[in-house]
Amino acid sequence: MAHILAIANQKGGVGKTTTAINLACALAQTGRRVLLVDCDPQGNASSGLGLRISEPDKTLHRVLLEENGAPPLHRPLDELSLWMIPANPSLAATEWKLTATPGSETVLASRLKPLDERFHFMILDCPPSLGLLTVNTLCAAHSVLIPLQCEYFAMEGLSLLLDTIRKIKLRWNPSLAIRGILLTMFDRRNNLSHQVATEIRKHLGARVFETLIPRNVRLSESPSHGLPVMLYDRHCAGSRAYAALAHEILQKGADRA
Ligand code: ADP
Ligand code: MG
């Protein structure tokens, strides 16, 4: 059975997509079969792995709005056991149409079910909002990973996200767990980064992953080459950090396979 992990935070630019791509690929590098689902109309996870798909029929659109037929699985990289359901800007209209569907919150959960046996992990990259697409990912997921950027105001908005998670647990998905808070864009030469990381650990304690994701230029360069960081520069700090995160997640038992 696949473990479904949503990468969520309604703030933009905190490292959700970078984490979704590189964690999915780091898990695939350990030999797990991983499905990455791009749930953001911006389609950054798709283009970051070289998939620019214009036909809605070959994207998440089809999964959400067409009950029948096989989901459009792409294989962006030959080297890795990674599959992907991509997105493109038409997903914004899909979200709007989805609101008219009865049980619109749990459509993604039911459409991913038939894929359950084929993968060890499904990683869902969320848009920067708490709208229906994010609600769908939280209804489908076993757990949530919340990236927080090591900047002032990092925790701003976190209580709203935690409150949304609580409501989703009550209404649709009682076993939804918070897999962890991930500190991203940590700059060890910057005092503020250290202060913010200490403060977040003080407030959120054991929920915070031990792995810190450093600010690393390779992480920001690799999507423009359509590659995860470990295939772009396997020795850089970003590659090592996402490998460590995958290891920490496997050790903490998210691997249900
Ligand atoms: P989100 O999906 O939350 O909007 P992204 O993952 O797209 O955030 O990251 C926002 C920007 O920051 C992107 O340009 C990305 O390349 C860059 N970025 C993300 N994480 C890092 C990092 N650890 N080091 C350097 N740049 C990063
Ligand atoms: Mg994103």
Question: Is the pLDDT score of 254 beyond 60?
Answer: no
Does any domain span residue 247? yes
Strand partners, 125: 7, 38
Where does ligand 1 bind, in terms of residues with CB under 6 Å? 12-18, 44, 128, 184-185, 213, 215-216, 219-220
For the CA atoms of 49, 53, 57, 59, the dihedral, rounded to the nearest 10 degrees, stands at 30
Report which of 106, 160, 102 is spatially closest to residue 128, judged by C-alpha positions. 160
DSSP string, 184-202: EEE-TT-HHHHHHHHHHHH
Here the contacts of 69-78 (C-beta below 8 Å, separation 24 or greater) are: 71/111, 71/115, 73/35, 76/49, 76/50, 76/51, 76/226, 77/25, 77/49, 77/227, 77/228, 77/231
Question: Is the pLDDT score of 181 beyond 50?
Answer: yes
Band (pLDDT 50/70/90 cuts) for residue 256 is: very low
Does any domain span residue 32? yes
Does any domain span residue 26? yes
Q: In ligand 1, which atom is closest to the CA atom of 11? A: 3
Range of the domain at 175: 3-251
Does any domain span residue 257? no
Taking the CA of residue 60 as centre, how many other CA atoms within 13 Å lie in the half-sphere pointing to its CB? 37
Question: Is the pLDDT score of 253 beyond 80?
Answer: no
The predicted-structure confidence for 117-170, as pLDDT tens digits, reads as follows 999 999 999 999 999 999 999 999 999 999 999 988 888 889 999 999 999 999
Assigned token pair, 213: 């994701």
Does any domain span residue 134? yes
Number of domains in the chain: 1
ipTM of this complex > 0.90? yes
The predicted-structure confidence for 55-85, as pLDDT tens digits, reads as follows 999 999 999 998 777 899 999 999 999 999 9
Closest CA to ligand 1's atom 1: 13
Domain with residue 151: its CATH number is 3.40.50.300
Does any domain span residue 220? yes
Helices 132-140, 91-98: inter-axial angle, 10-degree rounding: 80
Q: What is the rounded distance in angstroms from the CA atom of residue 257 to the CA atom of residue 243?
A: 19
Closest CA to ligand 1's atom 18: 220
Closest CA to ligand 1's atom 26: 220
Measure 96 CA to ligand 2 centroid, in angstroms: 19
Does any domain span residue 201? yes
Does any domain span residue 256? no
